[in-house]
Amino acid sequence: MLGLSAFTLILDQATKVWATRLLRNGEELEIVPGFFRLVHWQNTGAAWSLFTGKNDWLATISIVSLVALFYFRHYFDAHTRMGRIALGLLFGGIAGNVIDRFRVDHVIDFIYFYAERRGGGEVGFPAFNVADATITAGVVLLLWMSWRKEEERDKATLAASGQDEAKPERSG
């Protein structure tokens, strides 16, 4: 878990340094026309412009999240390989964005996917960075693990009650 956290954090910070050296703030570089750009956007909020200008508040929430994740890690199957991967992705990603918030008072976003509209303009997914992607992957992995665990509990309950989920119950 610690190794993946460190790798995620280093990858996040290195890609942000690369993006800021490649582009000045507000600049964009078209990679796949009509679909993907590298951008350099300073984000003082969260995704979809939520909490814009609340950098200090978001930094505090992030630190509390890191402490809570560490303290409650045993609830997230930290003893399993998948649990350690999920937590490693979360720790590294959250730490990467916290570092930005303290170092430069915003998060550096540089990955932007979008689609052009027929009548002009575009619709896009909020710009993000490696930390955002690893946080999302960690959350999705934890949700998937939770779903699988619940499914296994349901099967065990059925087996303990003598019912087989493949065989419908007979009436009459």
Catalytic residues: 109, 132
Angle at 82 (CA atoms; ends 74, 65), nearest 5 degrees: 50
Tell me the one-letter amino acid at 62.
S
- Which of 68, 67, 86 is CA-nearest to residue 77? 86
The torsion region of residue 105 among left (phi > 0), alpha (psi -120 to 50) and beta comes to left
CB atoms within 10 A of CB 38: 17
d(C-alpha 100, C-alpha 11), whole Å? 13
d(C-alpha 157, C-alpha 155), whole Å? 5
Tell me the one-letter amino acid at 40.
H
Q: What is the largest CA-CA distance in the chain?
A: 76
Name the one residue in this structure whose structure tokens are 């910070």.
13
